[in-house]
Amino acid sequence: MGIYKNILITFVFTIFFVISNVHCTDIIQDFGVKHEYKKCYDPCPKGQEHVCERFCAALSLQLIGRCFSEQCCCISKETK
């Protein structure tokens, strides 16, 4: 009986380990699901767009910074 108990415990832990290592994605291939990100911050002084670009790049390398009506907006990069 002791060996069956050990096998059962090993099997259960193996199942938990396999389930915990499954990674899910939010992009389904061939459906083109895209999550576009855009968030704006104040201010973006005229002629200082490079500061906005650096700020957004510091948040994430997937973002680009653009100035819109004196606001610094971080937008997700387009993927091709």
Which residue matches tokens 């291939």?
29
The reply to whether 63 falls in a domain is yes
Average pLDDT over residues 5-22: 82
pLDDT > 80? residue 35:
no
What is the domain extent for residue 47? 35-80
The reply to whether 25 falls in a domain is no
The angle subtended at Cα 27 by Cα 22 and Cα 29, nearest 5°, is: 100
Res 71: pLDDT: 87
Domain count, the chain: 1
Of 10 and 24, the structure prediction assigns the larger pLDDT to: 10
pLDDT tens column, 53-80: 888 888 888 888 888 888 898 888 775 4
The reply to whether 66 falls in a domain is yes
